[in-house]
Structure 1
Amino acid sequence: MPPPPPSQVPGRKDAPRTLDATLDDAELGVARAALAQGRWQAARTLLARTGDDWDRRGHRAAVLALEPDTAAPHWLTAEPDNADAATLRALTLVRRTVRGRTDGYDGYDDARAACRIAADLAPTDPTPWLGLLRLALFRSGGGEGAGPVRGVGYDDAEAVRHAGHDDAEATRHDDAEAVRLFEEVRARHPDHHQAHHLMVAHLAERRADSGPDPLHEVYDFAAWAAEQAPADSPLAILPVVAHAERYRVLAARGHLSADPAASGHWADDRAREVMKTAYDWWLEWEHEGHPRRLLDLNYLAHATVCAGRPAEASALFHRIADHATVRPWSYPDRDPYEAFTAARERTLGRGCCEDHPA
């Protein structure tokens, strides 16, 4: 089956160097800009209209929570029983906690309490539980994007990694709590995209000093999640995500080259098989409407580049256009915009990203 037709690749001179966490969600961009100016009404309308599209709600709420914690408290004061206001306030506190910016409140405890309040106001919504999961993974020492990454935006998630516990019993307790919260999310939305990404990044951190291991548990988890999901679920890409997250951990410990394409990490049989399976799934099931599809496509493009598969990478870069994401292009410690742009130019040719006459 031929690859989907390419989208237009915007001119390189106009490509933003600050990666936009909204991706291609124009409505989210408008609401975020208003929130940054202290106006919460657009966010209120957006989240109300999102309804129970849980992946979209999680994405939108997480991006809105990137803004300074000014408008969200005003919204909650004006509408104390509004579940969306409570959720946004909770995720904002979670974000500040994992970033170490806890001035003016009690950090972890306040963020956790805010998530509980939001969960009580919206019992069927997995988004407050996603906030609790982020806190639990932060406390146990990992999470989506854990480790030092460069870039600005939602996709660098827990960029400041928590040191974790030296006490083995405390670590087991925190891991058990993370699993429990993950199941709370899944009870409300079994294929929750962000929750699965969080767990993959967390599991990739385990046995970090043991070196490459094709039987590592993160691969088993990702394969299980992909297999149990419906045929059209974007969790089909999760095994590719797991491979990149494990590379992040191994490269940071010095087990693999800091140049992902030269690391050999994408050269073994398992890596080639999960990449082929994920790419074939994309050709058959591509979801234009999924709010985080561009994150998945960036992981898949990164993998095809590292594996030296230019035909597949070319189709993916055309579809991605300029919507680069911090993960995984920042791994292990790279400028994501520069890494993405260099990989795209190598794949498509330097002329691909220059302005062309209409």
Structure 2
Amino acid sequence: MAGSTAEFRPRFHPAGHDAELRVALEEVRVGRWMPMRNLLARTGDRWGLRTSRSQVLASVAARSHVVWEWLAEEPSNLDALMMRARVDTERVLHAYRAGHAGAGELAHVARASAASAAEMALADPVPWVCRLALAQVDPEKRVREHRAAPPDRMLPTGPWGLLREVWQRDQHNREAHHRMLQALLAAPVGGPAAALNFTHAVKSWVPWQSGSALLVLPLYAYAQHYRDKRERGRYEAIGRAQWTREPLIDDVQRALQGWFQLSDPVERSALDLNHLAHALWAGRRHEEAARVFRAMGRHATAQPWSLVAAEPRDPQSGLEEFLKARRQCLAVAGPARPGSRVPLH
């Protein structure tokens, strides 16, 4: 049967359940830009979907000159200008993670591309998301816009003005808040504690039953907090037990009822689904976790499973943790109800 663990083979695909994006990605891989153009045109001003699709497209387009070939044909196309900012930003992040000395210079180029795209499309949040993403490669906050005053006294300085620009265009923009979280985690002062404070602040801004993916954000901060404790040799004291205590129980419930049960399945991030499934499993809420595992279909992600695996740096160990959790939850929940849909793609 479709949900049986014996037949189950997870797949790691950046498009997740977005079939249209999956098709466009394959075309971009071989250097064809027209399907990307058409997909973004169809997406229009659905800002959340535009943000997520353009992020994934950029992760592939950054490996070639396909966006510049598009710009050569349509130099004034707003989507092409946005994708140039996306690709420039993606290349900065890749260079920074690889330790390349030229990452700072690339960041200047990306910032200029994002500013140009923002000027041409005033309502579009994506260029501002790009600028916000660049804060992650400036942990010392040398760039002025990366050390703005915070909206809450419990939070450190950071790229708050950039986040505010996104808020004005798309208040619940998922990627923007994750970029802010990453910037806080990258800072030499604050780290996981500042990230937790940020997610608690976000929780107060987002209505419970809004369907917003921001309701899942605290689960990422808790997972990072766990990793931080584990790296210091203190993880045994909190381990899975942290997921059975307040305020985590409330945060997991908000993510389940306020996001998972109300959101559009096509727009759900596979990462969000995996974080929610993990939190429910770790909190011993196996039947509810089984619903999330079934909804995600085959779309596993490395995080957060590698954080709790026996060997955090071994991808296979993380995969085994995912499979173990899925197997346990489906065994407790029993077969899917007749008529329920189990995603196969």
- Please indicate the TM-score interval, normalised by the length of the shorter structure: 0.7 to 0.9
- Determine the structure 1 residue equivalent to 2:131: 132
In the alignment, is the contact (CA less than 8 A) between 2:277 and 2:292 conserved in 1? yes
Structure 1 length-normalised TM: 0.76
- 1:182 to 2:141 alignment: no
- Where do 1:195-214 residues align within 5 Å? 195-204=176-185
Task: Check 1:314–1:117 CA distance in 2 against 1; reply closer, same or farther (3 A cut).
Answer: same
- Determine the structure 2 residue equivalent to 1:318: 294
Q: Equivalent pairs: percent with the same residue?
A: 33
Gaps in structure 1 of 5+ consecutive residues: 1-6, 141-164, 353-358
- Determine the structure 2 residue equivalent to 1:229: 206
In 2, the alpha carbon distance for the partners of 1:172 and 1:70 equals 31
Q: CA deviation at 1:9?
A: 3.1
In the alignment, is the contact (CA less than 8 A) between 2:18 and 2:267 conserved in 1? yes
* 1:15 maps to which of 9, 30, 34: 9
Gaps in structure 2 of 5+ consecutive residues: 149-157, 336-345
- Determine the structure 2 residue equivalent to 1:33: 26
Q: CA deviation at 1:220?
A: 3.4
**Is the partner of 2:202 in helix, strand or coil?**
helix
- Determine the structure 2 residue equivalent to 1:239: 218
* 2:251 maps to which of 245, 266, 274: 274
Deviations 1:313-334 (A, max 9, x none): 1222122221122332232545
Residues matched between the structures, number = 312
* 2:329 maps to which of 332, 342, 347: 347
Amino acid at match of 2:303: R
In 1, the alpha carbon distance for the partners of 2:271 and 2:238 equals 19
Task: Check 1:183–1:337 CA distance in 2 against 1; reply closer, same or farther (3 A cut).
Answer: same
Amino acid at match of 1:296: D
Q: CA deviation at 1:201?
A: 3.5
**Is the partner of 1:52 in helix, strand or coil?**
coil
Structure 2 length-normalised TM: 0.79
- Determine the structure 1 residue equivalent to 2:55: 62
Deviations 1:21-64 (A, max 9, x none): 10011110111110111100000000011011111001110111
In 2, the alpha carbon distance for the partners of 1:104 and 1:316 equals 42
In the alignment, is the contact (CA less than 8 A) between 1:209 and 1:253 conserved in 2? no
- 1:74 to 2:69 alignment: yes
In the alignment, is the contact (CA less than 8 A) between 1:87 and 1:118 conserved in 2? yes
In the alignment, is the contact (CA less than 8 A) between 1:267 and 1:307 conserved in 2? yes
Task: Check 1:171–1:341 CA distance in 2 against 1; reply closer, same or farther (3 A cut).
Answer: farther
Aligned Cα root-mean-square deviation (Å): 3.3
- Determine the structure 2 residue equivalent to 1:249: 228
Q: CA deviation at 1:297?
A: 2.1
- 1:192 to 2:192 alignment: no
Which structure's relative contact order is higher, taking Cα pairs within 8 Å and 6+ residues apart? 1
